[in-house]
């Protein structure tokens, strides 16, 4: 910047080089010395780094710095780090997510409805390659599918909204069986369940068999819907899924239910929806 200022004062304002250097506080020695590129200025550091990185490609910055000092290279650590980053040698840290400690949950089918709902996510792609997800909810009492939400993204707030709609239709469950996905462990969802007095029964990490009822349903849903069609839009998935759910709940025999459909094995009583208008129920 100072060299550019001197050039402007000399060329546009007619000052001498001595006067211009004095104004911008640039020594005449620096003015007459040809500027070097950063590559040329740091050539020695670059060569040293290239040599040691070729031998130790997985070493981090401070290991390289300490090794260079042991080998007799006296390079300021700030300069070494600047060149190290400019060469894009700074390796990203790989942090391993620590799975939460969970107690093993017994997998016994409840004897009634709305005792335990099981929830899980699935993923697939449309014909054009776009990803989408599904959020599946079943009642373990009769394996009835209560709902399948289809969208490109299903964050925790959307999960809460879906659960509120299902509770309005079918009543509130006593507990949820679920895995340790980020959407289901996020504080907004766990606090919502606490406010609703819904117990959360998290399965142990890496143990999908502890959520076997919905895992078995996911396999059926993938075979009979997701893998059976080529979808061009989310609306098409929702339409086919809704039609298939009626068949699954009311017509399709379920082997573990004595070869009966879920709603034949254990019918769901109609819910009385209270509507308030003008302060009267």
Query: What pLDDT score was predicted for residue 273?
Result: 41
Separation CA 126–CA 124 (nearest Å): 7
Contact present, 63 and 56 (Cβ < 8 Å): yes
The tokens for 41 are 């200025």
- Which 8-state DSSP code applies to residue 270? P
Beta bridge partners of 125: 131
SS3 of residue 74 by DSSP? coil
User: pTM score, two decimals?
Assistant: 0.62
pLDDT digits 0-9 by tens, 61-80:
898 889 888 999 989 999 99
Phi/psi for 151 (5° steps) reads: -165, 165
Torsion sign over Cα 86, 90, 91, 95? negative
Beta strand 175-178 with 116-125 is: parallel
| Domain ranges for the chain | 2-86, 116-265
Domain 116-265: assigned CATH number: 3.30.420.10
- Candidate from 82-86, 151-155, 188-192 with smallest mean pLDDT: 82-86
Separation CA 205–CA 217 (nearest Å): 20
Query: What pLDDT score was predicted for residue 271?
Result: 59
Contact present, 145 and 159 (Cβ < 8 Å): no
Tokens 């300490």: give the residue: 66
Angle at 204 (CA atoms; ends 140, 100), nearest 5 degrees: 130
The tokens for 125 are 């792609």
pLDDT digits 0-9 by tens, 100-159:
666 676 677 788 999 999 999 999 999 999 999 999 999 999 999 999 999 999 999 999
User: Of 167, 147, 176, which is closest to residue 273 (Cα–Cα)?
Assistant: 167
Which residues are CB-contacts of 166 (< 8 A; sequence separation ≥ 6)? 137, 146, 147
User: Of 184, 180, 173, which is closest to residue 146 (Cα–Cα)?
Assistant: 173
């Amino acid at each position: 910047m100072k060299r550019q200022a001197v050039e402007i004062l000399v060329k546009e304002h007619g000052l001498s080089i001595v006067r211009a250097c004095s104004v911008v506080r640039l020594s005449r020695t620096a003015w007459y010395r040809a500027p070097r590129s950063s590559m040329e200025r740091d050539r020695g550091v670059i060569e040293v780094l290239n040599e040691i990185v070729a031998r130790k490609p997985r070493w981090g910055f401070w290991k390289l710095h300490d090794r260079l000092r042991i080998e007799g290279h006296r390079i300021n650590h700030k300069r070494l780090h600047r060149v190290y980053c400019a060469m894009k040698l700074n390796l990203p840290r790989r942090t391993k997510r620590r799975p939460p400690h969970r107690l093993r949950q017994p997998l016994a089918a409840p004897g009634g409805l709305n005792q335990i709902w099981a929830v899980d996510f699935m993923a697939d792609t449309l014909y054009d390659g776009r990803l989408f997800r599904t959020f599946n909810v079943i009642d373990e009492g009769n394996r009835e599918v209560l709902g399948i939400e289809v969208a490109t993204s299903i964050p925790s707030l959307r999960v809460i909204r879906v659960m509120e709609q299902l509770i309005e239709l079918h009543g509130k469950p006593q507990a949820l069986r679920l895995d340790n996905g980020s959407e289901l462990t996020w504080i907004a969802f766990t606090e919502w369940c606490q406010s609703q007095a819904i117990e959360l029964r998290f399965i142990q990490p890496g143990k999908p068999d502890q959520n076997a009822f919905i895992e078995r349903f996911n396999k059926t849903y993938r075979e009979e819907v997701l893998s059976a069609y080529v979808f061009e839009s989310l609306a098409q998935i929702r339409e086919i899924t809704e039609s298939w759910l009626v068949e699954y709940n009311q017509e399709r025999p379920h082997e573990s239910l004595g070869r009966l459909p879920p709603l034949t094995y254990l019918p769901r009583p109609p819910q009385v929806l209270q509507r308030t208008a003008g302060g009267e129920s």
